[in-house]
Structure 1
Amino acid sequence: MRCPFCAHEDSQVKDSRPTEDGAAIRRRRQCEACGARFTTFERVQLRDLTVVKKNGEREPFERDKLARAIGHATRKRDIPADKIDRMITGIQRRLETQGDEVKSAEIGEAVMDGLKALDHVAYIRFASIYKDFSEPGHFAEIAESVEKEAAPAPPPDKLL
């Protein structure tokens, strides 16, 4: 593993353990040249995914790009990082089981589903960019739909 500080090619693994959710291996490394310590994560990748964008372009799937998009939506929200990471891992696994190519719209919908279950404000933030809101009314519409879904159903005897 290349050292992020001095770019030396060799580093020594000092400690290795699974992450809390067991989806990755966390390794503490030390550079053999400069002695700096850093952490790396090793994840299982079932297959190489290609994302097919709306305009037909194809590009390799990047977990970090997905994490950044979700990070923008969840910024300043009180959501534990491990929940966000589990959501990202779940989305990636679901996409990997669908085949080698995945449409960007499928990724967007998977993120919307995950955020809706995780945090309504983050869901609305992501939706505003993903759905390309152009008017304030769009925010009101999606907020109303979230509020309706989140409201508890009235007891059956109150429906009549």
Structure 2
Amino acid sequence: MKCPFCGDAESKVMDSRVSRDGNAIRRRRECLACGRRFTTYEYIEEIMPTVVKKDGRREPFDRNKIRNGVRKACQKRPISTETMESLVANVERFCQEYSGEEMSSSRIGEKVMQLLKDLDGVAYVRFASVYRQFRDVKDFLEELKEFQDEKKEDEP
């Protein structure tokens, strides 16, 4: 493993642990050349689907795009970083079912909205307003009304 400080390729593992979510191994390493310590994570390589954008372009799946959208939607809401990461991981697992295949960006966006709807109404409406590109207030109010009607149905 190449040292991020001096670039030397020789290091020794000081400690190995399974990460909190159990999906990675965290390794604490020490560079044999400069003596500085650094952390690496070992993950199982998973083949993610190619994402087909609305304009027909194709690009590799990017977890960070989902994370950024969820963070913006949840900004200033009482939602922990851990909860947001869990939601992103759920979307990623959903997408892994299509490994090696193509998946539309709209399918991914709908999954994010479904999970946000269950998590926090304000975050859901924020995400939907950007994702669905509301043209005017009328579109926004229609989405809000649908959300409120669904919430009423779910109440005992």
**TM-score where L is the length of structure 1:** 0.78
Cα distance in 2 between the residues matched to 1:139 and 1:32: 59
Structure 1: gaps (5+ residues)? 156-160
Assess, with a 3 A threshold, how the Cα gap between structure 1 residues 95 and 154 changes in structure 2: closer, same or farther: closer
Structural RMSD (CA): 2.6
Assess, with a 3 A threshold, how the Cα gap between structure 1 residues 16 and 154 changes in structure 2: closer, same or farther: closer
Assess, with a 3 A threshold, how the Cα gap between structure 1 residues 147 and 57 changes in structure 2: closer, same or farther: same
1:78 aligns with 2:57: no
**Is contact 1:49-1:96 (8 Å) kept?**
yes
- Which digits, 9 at most, give the CA deviation of each residue in 1:22-75, with x for residues without a partner? 233334445556655554444334313211111111111111222112111112
**Is contact 2:15-2:28 (8 Å) kept?**
yes
The percentage of aligned residue pairs carrying the same residue is 43
Cα distance in 1 between the residues matched to 2:124 and 2:150: 13
SS of the counterpart of 1:90?
helix
Cα distance in 2 between the residues matched to 1:126 and 1:31: 44
1:146 aligns with 2:144: no
User: Size of the alignment, in residue pairs?
Assistant: 154
Assess, with a 3 A threshold, how the Cα gap between structure 1 residues 105 and 16 changes in structure 2: closer, same or farther: same
Assess, with a 3 A threshold, how the Cα gap between structure 1 residues 29 and 145 changes in structure 2: closer, same or farther: farther
1:113 aligns with 2:117: no
Partner of 2:7: 8
Cα distance in 2 between the residues matched to 1:18 and 1:75: 30
Partner of 2:127: 126
